[in-house]
Amino acid sequence: MNSEFIKERELKNDNRHVYLYHLEEEHSIWIAYGYSAYSLKLFAMSHGVEYVRGYSSNVALPYTIVTREGMKRLRSYLPVIQEEENFLYLDMKKSFSEKDFFCWLESCCSEGKKQETVEIKTLVSDLVPKDEFIPDSMSSFARNFKRITDCIVALITMVVFSPLALCCYIAIKLEDGGPAIFKQERIGRFGRPFNIYKFRSMRMDAEKLGPQLSHSGGDNDPRLTKVGKFIRAHHLDELPQLWNVFCGDMAFIGPRPERKFFIDQILDYDTRYVYLYQIRPGVTSFATLYNGYTDTMEKMLCRLEYDLYYLKKRSWWFDMKILFGTFWSIVGGKKF
């Protein structure tokens, strides 16, 4: 099965439909992923149908499995919208709570994981719930208004800083002739992958030994180019992310987006990371101000504590405090 095709379907799911697929190795078993998996689980529980749930690392979504007998009962209750040899599309008639879905997603991620502990302590550790769901505290109106504002400000800022961006582009091209824009897949809202854009600050072979945290080598990382060292020190490498904000992949304020490779490692220690999927990742964050960029697992878990606190307290006023804090930190030459 094409995992990207499945993800695309689930991102368009309105919480009241189920996409089901035959398992390739066993055609008497049907499987659903993501929102469909949760809808299928609710149906199975309410109608006494046996099911198996879990988390697929290949598809990066939770799944629910039912047998052919369970499918017969499913089809007798629910309208079939589309049917093919190895695919079914059903109408569940009613939607579910996204809060309940994210709680379920956390439990799916935690099952089968090797539970390890890392002792961390931050300024907000005692203020972040450890054993309960953390909902997004921003209202629907505020979220929509924030999105519109982000889009307008990103467009204006791209125009204003276009000369500076052009200078960065030319300097990078002149140094080694390689591509000036660096793109990398990150995980965004609802666990959706997207390409983040930056000005390239490292050599072309920076990850020849595999994925590494971008700041693992510090300010004197040998992978940095001369131009790259300068633009990173002044945060100019982040300018192309204005396009990500304009397109809706990111916001100006929100948890920094991470790669799936490192998210999977974080989930081994703390499954609450999935709560962050409720909101768009950001160009800057509350965690960046207090925790800086991350180069160890301990720092990643500390960053998660700050991000969860932000999720719990998110508001327009909080966003403005983070924005001004970031501005003065950059003006003051603070190293993130």
Q: How far apart are CA 265 and CA 64, in angstroms?
A: 23
Give the residue, 224 or 320, on which the prediction is more confident: 320
159 burial (CB, 10 Å; 0-12 / 13-18 / 19+) is exposed
pLDDT more than 90, % of the chain: 38
Mean pLDDT over 28-35 rounds to 86
pLDDT-based confidence at residue 220 (cuts at 50, 70, 90):
low
CA-based nearest residue to 145, from 251, 282, 242, 287: 251
* pLDDT tens for each residue of 53-97: 888 877 778 888 888 788 888 888 888 888 887 888 888 877 788
**Pick from 93, 73, 81, 60: nearest CA to 30:** 73
Q: Spell out the residues 6+ positions from residue 105 whose beta carbon is closer than 8 angstroms to its own.
A: 38, 55, 62, 274, 277
Q: Indicate if the pLDDT at residue 241 is higher than 80.
A: yes
Under the banding of pLDDT at 50, 70 and 90, the label for residue 25 is low
Task: Give me the sign of the Cα torsion angle 219, 310, 320, 146.
Answer: positive
Which residues, 6+ apart, have CB-to-CB distance to 333 below 8 Å?
A: none
Could you tell me the pLDDT band of residue 137, with boundaries at 50, 70 and 90? very high
Q: How far apart are CA 39 and CA 62, in angstroms?
A: 12
pLDDT at 22: 80
**Mean pLDDT value of segment 122-146:** 90
Give the pairing of strands 282-284 and 80-84.
unpaired
Q: What is the pTM of this model?
A: 0.69
pLDDT number for residue 188:
93
Which element (helix H / strand E) includes 1? none
For every residue of 125-171, DSSP letters joined together read GGGS-SSS-----S-HHHHHHHHHHHHHHHHHHHHHTHHHHHHHHHH
Q: What is the DSSP letter of 113?
A: -
Q: Do residues 57 and 109 lie in contact, with contact meaning Cβ atoms separated by under 8 Å?
A: no
> Which residues, other chains included, contact 237 with Cβ-Cβ below 8 Å and sequence gap of 6+?
168, 198, 199, 200, 201, 228, 231
Contact (CB, 8 A) for 215 and 30: no
Highest mean pLDDT among 5-19, 104-118, 262-276: 262-276
pLDDT top residue among 216 and 234: 234
Residue 267, pLDDT score = 86
Tokens of residue 90, six digits: 């059903």
pLDDT in tens, 145-195: 999 999 999 999 999 999 999 999 999 999 888 899 999 999 999 888 999
Amino acid (1-letter code) at residue 47: H
Neighbours of 146 (CB within 10 A): 21
pLDDT averaged over every residue in the chain: 85
Average pLDDT over residues 124-136: 89
Q: Which tops the pLDDT comparison, 241 or 42?
A: 241
pLDDT band at 304 (very low <50, low <70, confident <90, very high): very high
CA separation for the pair 193, 187 (Å, rounded): 4
Question: Looking at 110-114, 125-129, 183-187, 235-239, which range is the least confident one?
Answer: 110-114
| DSSP codes of every residue in 180-221 | SEEEEEEE-GGG-EEEEEEE--B-TTTTTTS---TTTTGGG-
Residue 209 has pLDDT above 50, yes or no: no
- Residue 113 pLDDT > 60, yes or no? no
d(CA 318, CA 315): 5
- Asked if pLDDT for residue 23 goes beyond 90, the answer is no
Q: What is the pLDDT of residue 117?
A: 60
